[in-house]
Structure 1
Amino acid sequence: MSRSPRARTDDDAPPTDWLAELPHELLLHILEGVDDFSDCAAFSLASPRLGRLALRSDLPRFKDPLFAVAMRLQLAQRVAAPRRSPRLAAAIPPSPLTESILRKYAADRRASADYFPWLARVSPALCLSTELGGPGDNRIDIWRLKRGEESGAALRLRSLRYGSVVHCEGEQGAERLVRAECPDGTVEHFEGERDVERMVRKVRADGAVVHFEGERGAERKVRTDMPDAVVHFEGERGAERKVRTDMPDAVVHFEGERGAERQVRMVLADGVGHYEGEQGAERLVCHEFADGSVSYYEGEQGAPRLVRVVNAGNVGHYEGERGAERLVRSEFAVGVVGHYEGEQGSERMVRVVHADGSV
């Protein structure tokens, strides 16, 4: 519940923001009735507290990108006003919108042709227009710059049949494709001059970003950035194969043709694991540790069992199922061989064969 405003006295200084004296509920009621972007901007400049309240309350007019446009127009008028003589004030129109502002608005997903009349009213010399083009069922809604009564460069094209949206940059007659928004949420980004635009990046609906290289028609996937990994690819278009996946705690290397890439190596903080086998059945065969020791394994994918450890010229041999491998023989660099018995963790040496053959 908001507090009632304090009663003013004769000793109080005149308020600089009369609207700030009103309770929030009444202010919101007033703001909800403001439906012109220019009025929204004027209210916000007259009372910054009011503008902040509207934004925090998610009032549609104040969240629309045209609100920012209206604010710029209002500020431009206020800056220019002191420089004008009273005689010229009525003759000089408000600062018009710039082409860059209109292009930025047209590129915004929240932009709507419903507000083009407002743009035409505040900036009749330069605004936006919409028209339909294309044959039959393939009609296209085209947004253009409009200079007076003349149509200018195309900025956005939307397929009425499929719902896809294409964004363009460049002067009229030289418009080039820069972005395509697909109905499934995918956004494709392009670079290059008109008629040779090449796709350089694709942002999928799941947040993954796919990067491409190569000329138009031969763009090949080179990297996919995901929230928890980065996947690298090599090969020509249509035959890109995965070669490496970078994860926070590991780097996995792959070999093989597209669709049959198999894991061959995994780099971890403590060393490198090597794998063999076809895709989906890769099995760990050895692990090279940072201290120089190497462990060898046998067994199918997901169930490797330790069979041998090589460390500084010494070789330990193990037997038993995974998780219960026990040391059965140690071959030392000096030529001595030790034999062991007992379960894992409690192996005991039962025989030693020396280099001269004595036991």
Structure 2
Amino acid sequence: MIMKKFLAAFLSVMIVMCASVTAFGATKSDVNKVVNTSVAYAFDGKYSQGGYTIANAKNFYILTKSGADVSAYKEAFFASAKDAAHAGTLTDVGTLGEIITIADKLGMNPENIDGVNYVEMLKNADPANYGASPYNYLFAAEAASAHGLTDAADAFCGKMIGFYTIGTGTDFWGGYGTSADDLAMFLITLKYGSGDYSQYTNDAFALLENTYSADGYVNYTPSADSTALALAAYSAYGNKTKADDVYKLLIDKFYDGTTGGFKADYDPYYATADAVFALAYYLPIADADPEPQQPQETTTKAETATKQATQAKKDTGKKSPATGSTGIAAASLTAAGAAIVLAISAKKKHEA
């Protein structure tokens, strides 16, 4: 009975050890699978059903950046943008930024789409006109940076900084304070500026970590939205180690394998859209997919035996102690095996 318990415990330890020494970040294929199921759930299942105009430009921006096929919606979207430009109602910098980035992703020239120069419009737009949310400064700064509008990008970053207080963070909503979501969008926006914003970014990342919990990043409660936007922020700044950890947290706590989207207390479609937005930032730094194995040349049993014998002679007495995950596992197995042998031996002596 003692030996059975010992063997069971030994096997449990070895399973945990083998899992821990082979843990890596997600591969690009892993991420793309999540993106594809999320798009099918939130966009095919809801947001795309009515098509896209500039009224829901953010969702079309997220969908386009996901790499999904948006050809069915492109014409109507840019027709609505053209109509608004001609009517003089297309003035907020966020929507202009989204239009430009969408055009860039689709291989179009945003300086001339149906005769409209959206880049020039962004350059001349009033930086104070951010539309419905200060989050829109991110989309404006991204587009400005991509098209060499350094002064405009810096102006948008400056407007974002106007909402920030060192030590307490952002206040976008007039007294409601900061959150993981707000800090993440603030951080990503500053990534597109040309100035030295380290005083603000260092502080914002410290505050962002204060919103961490084992159940996800917090905005009142742990949520997929907050965790996804934290992932986007770490990814935008190239912190792969942290991004890998937050990606795992996002998947483990919020990914719904049944729907293919992300779980939320309030709106799972919105949470899933935030996740798709974040994964576009994470994908470039995710682990590369493993190289496909090359087909091995067939050999006879005799040839294989000869090669193994030759290699064994070369290896005898020449190997240094094993290192890395394989070495750890091998050493652990050897030690544990020795323990089993000693235990069996002791048991026999006791019985004798």
TM range (shorter): under 0.3
Higher relative contact order (CA 8 A, sep 6+): 2
TM-score w.r.t. length of structure 1: 0.26
TM-score w.r.t. length of structure 2: 0.26
**Structure in which a larger fraction of residues adopt strand:** 1
